[in-house]
Amino acid sequence: MNGPLERDGYDVAADVVPEHALQPLRRLFGRAVEGRAGTRNGLAHTEVRDLVAMPGLRELVANVLGPGAVPHRASLLDKSTDTNWFVAWHQDLVVPVSRRVDAPGYGPWSRKGDTWFVQPPASLLQHLLAVRIDLDGSDEHNGALRVLPGTHREGVLPAPRIADLARTVAPVTATCAPGGAVLLRPLLLHASAKARRDCHRRIVHLEYCPAALVGQLQPRDVG
């Protein structure tokens, strides 16, 4: 796993979640998402916490981040005919925190619902890992994730550099079968097109932090 992930910024793993374990998650989407594009509070649901505790997923994450990695965020995403969207090339730069603390290296801040989000230092972002569990299978027809391999090594990118890389780096579609996972470094440039067929593309998007760096997720008062 480490070779392609560190070289390209992403990797695809097959058969991470068995079919019988996908069914509770699909039912969860029917209750928690209900025709919306998704929800941010995935870890509030027992089904997602059970997913995080699965030995196969824990081993997959441990192989990259080491033992004890912490899932600090989970989102449920459902791209369908009713909730079909396009996402431009971007990096995932913010993390949820329990409270706002103005500290060097942290910012800008934003508020989404009842939660504060902040951009932490690039030195932390480069060590985080996203794991996207696919419930339906993703390909070029249903708006699968697209990536620009290797761009995670450039740090936090300004808009002109993102535009330049989008013109010069060949994009790759991260196709994935049901029960598989796409592993992604948050600093990798990624995007997705609208789905081109009538179907669901349901994703449980998990974000992990190495155990040794968990304390850096929440900025601290100084002085």
**HEC profile for 30-71?**
HHHCCCCCEECEHHHCHHHHHHHCCHHHHHHHHHHHCCCCEE
Determine, yes or no, domain membership for 100: no
**Judging by beta carbons within 10 Å of its beta carbon (0-12, 13-18, 19+), is residue 195 exposed, middle or buried?**
buried
Determine, yes or no, domain membership for 7: yes
Determine, yes or no, domain membership for 103: no
Determine, yes or no, domain membership for 193: yes
What was the pLDDT predicted at 222?
54
Q: Can you tell me the distance from the alpha carbon of 123 to that of 67, in angstroms, rounded to the nearest whole number?
A: 20
Instruction: Count how many Cα atoms sit within 13 Å of the Cα of residue 11 in the half-sphere of its side chain.
Output: 15
**Judging by beta carbons within 10 Å of its beta carbon (0-12, 13-18, 19+), is residue 61 exposed, middle or buried?**
buried
Range of the domain at 24: 2-86+124-214
What was the pLDDT predicted at 172?
97
State pTM to two decimals: 0.94
What was the pLDDT predicted at 2?
55
Instruction: Give 118's strand partners.
Output: 95, 109
Determine, yes or no, domain membership for 15: yes
Phi-psi sector, 9: left (phi>0), alpha (psi -120 to 50), beta: left
What was the pLDDT predicted at 1?
47
Determine, yes or no, domain membership for 6: yes
Q: How many CB atoms lie within 10 A of CB 95?
A: 22
Say how many Å lie between the first and final Cα of the chain, rounded: 42
The two tokens of residue 196 are 């081109």
Q: How many CB atoms lie within 10 A of CB 49?
A: 13
Q: Can you tell me the distance from the alpha carbon of 147 to that of 172, in angstroms, rounded to the nearest whole number?
A: 5
Residues in the chain, pLDDT under 50: 1, 223
Determine, yes or no, domain membership for 134: yes
What was the pLDDT predicted at 199?
73
Determine, yes or no, domain membership for 71: yes
What was the pLDDT predicted at 223?
47
User: What's the structural domain count of the chain?
Assistant: 1
User: Strands across the sheet with 129-134, in order?
Assistant: 10-13, 181-184, 129-134, 201-209, 70-79, 38-39
Please report, for the domain that includes residue 17, its CATH number.
Answer: 2.60.120.620
The residue type of 3 is G
